[in-house]
Amino acid sequence: MRVLGFMTGTSLDACDMAILETDGETIFAFGPAGERKLSEETRDLALAATKAAMDWPRGAPEPEVFATAAAAVAREHFEAAEGFLAANGLGWSDIDLIGMHGQTVLHERPQDGRVGRTVQLGDAQWLADATGTPVAYDFRTADVAAGGEGAPLAPIYHLARARAAGLSAPLGVLNVGGVANITFWAGGDEIAAFDTGPGNGMIDLLMQSRGAGRFDEGGKYASVGQVDEGVLRGLLGHAYFEAPPPKSLDRYDFPMEPLEPLRLEDAAATLTAFTAEAVRLGCEGMGGTPSQVVVCGGGRHNPTLMAAMAERLSAPVTTAEDHGWRGDSIEAEAFAYLAARTLRGLPISFPKTTGAPAPMTGGRIARPST
C-alpha cells in the first residue's frame, strides 16, 4: 500500500507528512516527506482545547471546543496534503490509506488503580470523505482503556526503520519532541520503550511565557546560561523518575514554578540539562547498554541539548541523518506504518512499550461515506 502519514506534535509547530510503501511489516519504499506550518487559527484552537482538557472532570461531557478544534485539525491536514501531493506530482487517487495521529490535547497516565485518559483531536470521517481515502486514526484509546499507557507508539516502527537501514542491536532510538521517548532494541523482535521525561516542551513553554519566541532556536539561550543545580535536583526528584517503565508523560506533567526566579538564560540551561539528565536516567533503566543512541525529532536541531546528552550518555549519540533517516519525518512515517498495521489488524502496542496486558491492535478506520 501507498500510505500517507500525518503527525502534529505537542509543540503545535507544523503538520508533518510522509509517504511509505508498506504492508505494515516490511518497508518497500520511502515516498516524499514534507511539512506545513500550522495556521495561527488552528494553533489557537488547539491551545484552547488543551486548556479545556486540563480542566475537564472525568465523567463530564467533552468540552465544546473539542469538536471545533477537531474540525480545524482535519481541514489543516487536508489543505497541507493538497499542496504536498501536488508538489510531488501525486493526487488522492495515488494514496491507498491515510494515517492521522491527530492533535494531542490530553494525556494522563494510569495511576493509583485508575486508567489513563488520552485525547487526540482530528475529524477522521470528514477527512476520509474529503479525500475519498480510508483514514486510520485513534491509535491510543484502546491501549489506554486496557490499562496501558497509550504511549509511545512509534517503537514498532523504530524497529522496522532500523532494520531497513541495516543497523544492528543493541540500539537505542531517542525521539525528542515535546516529550522525549526512547526505544531499546535488544535483538530479534524484542523492543522496550517509554517516555524518559521532558523533551522540548518545557523549554518551549519557558520561551513562550517570557515572550522570547516559540522555542530556544539553536539552544542559543541555554548555551550562555548557567544550570541551577538546586532547581535541577528538585525537578529530578519528581515521582515519575521512581516509577518503573513502561511509562508515559504529558508535556505539562512537570512544574514550571521552580524556574520563575531564574533569568531566562539560566532557566533555559537548567531545562536543557533536565531533558538530558532524564534521558541518561532512562538509558540506565533500559536493562541493557545500546551500541549507540540515534536521535530523531526536533530536539536534534538544538546543539546545546545534543552536547548535553553526548556528555551524559555512555553510548555514542548520533542523529537520524547520520544513518540516512529523515529525522523530521520519523513520526509521520511511523503513523503511516501504524495505519497499515491497523488496517491489517496487526498489533501496534506491546507489554514492554506501553504496559498493555498483551500485544494490541488499536486504531480505527474511517471509510469514505460515498
Phi-psi category of residue 336: left, alpha or beta, with phi > 0 → left and psi -120 to 50 → alpha = alpha
> What mean pLDDT is predicted for residues 353-365?
96
Whether the CB-CB separation of 155 and 347 falls below 8 Å is answered with no
Q: What pLDDT score does 237 carry?
A: 97
Q: What pLDDT score does 260 carry?
A: 97
Q: What pLDDT score does 94 carry?
A: 98
pLDDT (tens digit per residue) in 5-39: 999 988 888 999 999 999 999 999 999 999 999 99
pLDDT (tens digit per residue) in 140-168: 999 999 999 999 999 999 999 999 999 99
Q: What pLDDT score does 268 carry?
A: 98
Distance CA 293, CA 174 (A): 7
Question: Nine-digit cell at 163?
Answer: 532494520
pLDDT (tens digit per residue) in 93-139: 999 999 999 999 999 989 888 999 999 999 999 999 999 999 999 99
pLDDT (tens digit per residue) in 167-224: 999 999 999 999 999 999 999 999 999 999 999 999 999 999 999 999 999 999 999 9
Q: What pLDDT score does 370 carry?
A: 78
pLDDT (tens digit per residue) in 31-85: 999 999 999 999 999 999 999 999 999 999 999 999 999 999 999 999 999 999 9
Can you give the pTM of this predicted structure? Answer: 0.94
pLDDT (tens digit per residue) in 305-329: 999 999 999 999 999 999 999 999 9
Instruction: Compute how many other C-beta atoms are within 10 angstroms of the C-beta atom of residue 368.
Output: 14
DSSP string, 229-280: HHHHHHHHTSGGGGSPSS----TTSS-SGGGTTS-HHHHHHHHHHHHHHHHH
With a cut of 90, say whether residue 4 has pLDDT above it: yes
pLDDT (tens digit per residue) in 277-308: 999 999 998 888 899 999 999 999 999 999 99
Distance CA 366, CA 7 (A): 17
Q: What pLDDT score does 286 carry?
A: 86
Distance of CA 294 to the CA centre of its chain: 15
Question: Nine-digit cell at 216?
Answer: 530556544
What is the percent of the chain where pLDDT is above 90?
Answer: 94
Q: What pLDDT score does 164 carry?
A: 94
- Locate cell 502496542: which residue? 349
